[in-house]
Amino acid sequence: MLRIGVVGPTFPPIEVIADVARSVEEKGYDSIWFPDHLMGWFPQTIWTPEIVGALAPYSPHTFFETTLSIAVAASSTKRIRIGSAVTEAVRHHPAMLAQSYATLEHVTNSRVIFGIGAGELENVKPYGLKYEKVVGRLEEALQVIRLLWSSKRDDLINYDGKYFKLKDTVFELPPLRRRPPIWIGGVGERMCRITARYADGWLPFTVNVEEYKKKLGIIKEECGKISRDFDEIEKGIYLNLIIDESREECLRIMETPLIKAGALLAPASIYKELGYNHPLGENFYPLTDYIPAEYTREEVMKAIESVPTEVVQKSFLWGKVDDVIEKLDEYRQAGVQTVVFWNFTFLGDVNKIGSSYECIDQLVNYFKE
């Protein structure tokens, strides 16, 4: 069995969140997830009718607030898990994160997953905050959250960290049943070791099977060092997906400008592996280097023209339903228990909205059995 989740709606009308959550629950999906963004990954300069078609009325930077989205999704469902994919402790103080997700445990009847990572430059620097020492900041935030969540009534809580300090604080919101599981999004070695020490789940973003196995090995090694049961950690992966009943259609979609813009999110290491330089810089890494709103249309279009087809194909999980099942089986054998899809298909062809999700439904039915 492989549990499958999808990214939920991020833009108006708000009622769509409840409708989609109810629909995917009825179809047997395991989970629905909401990103925590102020800025999206696509430059607004290329979000024009000739490129995005019927999506043009919306901005690529349209995002409902994450915790409220989770609450709305919970209002129309009873079983499905609902997660953040993922938040961070740069814009959000860990005490507020502890309170928000402890509240959501009550709102969702213990179905919320607290996904957290180190954050992205695009959601931090443009808003006047410093994007620095983010992994160390994340580790301290997790220590603070665990400390608050484990406190007892009338406890005075103190913490003297480099980034966060608590002095005679209290945290008295009791759990409904248990505190929300913490899932960490990150694939660097230090993030893997943090996952072993603090997390209930791991949700790396778009890594291939071999890289996944390698990094999972680091988590297992670290669990051994701290005498933790490796099997306690749920193993997930977050994948960008292009899917259709026709492989030729997938290939066509991957040549469209918006999908090639999505391939700009691949790190420079993937380009180098295939013998190319990244159009946005020799050592470009999207989480730490990319602020889409800063790029002119000319700069983005020039970069898109330089994206090789091989890089696009390596940046996405793609193919017919049977192709994707085969690739997911490889991930499952590598240890993956839960997959979260961000469906990019209709960004290349808006007419594929319905059909692409019907293909994902087939994946759900296959792996349920």
> What pLDDT is recorded for position 226?
98
Instruction: Give the chain's radius of gyration (CA, Å).
Output: 20
> What pLDDT is recorded for position 302?
97
> What pLDDT is recorded for position 42?
97
Q: How far apart are CA 163 and CA 180, in angstroms?
A: 23
Instruction: Quick: pLDDT tens for 225-271.
Output: 999 999 999 999 999 999 999 999 999 999 999 999 999 999 999 99
CB 4 within 8 A of CB 29: yes
Q: Which two tokens stand for residue 369?
A: 């059995």
> Cα dist. 151→20, 157, 197 in Å?
37, 8, 19
Superfamily of chain region 3-252+317-368: Luciferase-like domain (3.20.20.30)
Q: How far apart are CA 338 and CA 61, in angstroms?
A: 27
Size (the chain), residues: 369
**317-319 and 234-243 strand pairing:** parallel
> What pLDDT is recorded for position 1?
87
Q: For residue 321, with 0-12 CB atoms within 10 Å meaning exposed, 13-18 middle and 19 or more buried, which class applies?
A: middle
pLDDT tens, the chain, 369 aa long: 899 999 999 999 999 999 999 999 999 999 999 999 999 999 999 999 999 999 999 999 999 999 999 999 999 999 999 999 999 999 999 999 999 999 999 999 999 999 999 999 999 999 999 999 999 999 999 999 999 999 999 999 999 999 999 999 999 999 999 999 999 999 999 999 999 999 999 999 999 999 999 999 999 999 999 999 999 999 999 999 999 999 999 999 999 999 999 999 999 999 999 999 999 999 999 999 999 999 999 999 999 999 999 999 999 999 999 999 999 999 999 999 999 999 999 999 999 999 999 999 999 999 987
Torsion of Cα atoms, 344 then 204 then 10 then 270, to 10°: -40
Torsion of Cα atoms, 36 then 149 then 108 then 331, to 10°: 60
Residues 6+ apart with CB under 8 A from 228: 196, 197
Lookup result for tokens 């008295």: 172
pTM for the model stands at: 0.97
> What pLDDT is recorded for position 369?
76
Q: Map out the domains of the chain as residue ranges.
A: 3-252+317-368, 255-315
Instruction: Quick: pLDDT tens for 49-94.
Output: 999 999 999 999 999 999 999 999 999 999 999 999 999 999 999 9
> Cα dist. 176→102, 145, 154 in Å?
9, 17, 18
Q: Which two tokens stand for residue 177?
A: 């049943």
Helices 94-107 and 134-149 pack at an angle, to 10 degrees, of 50
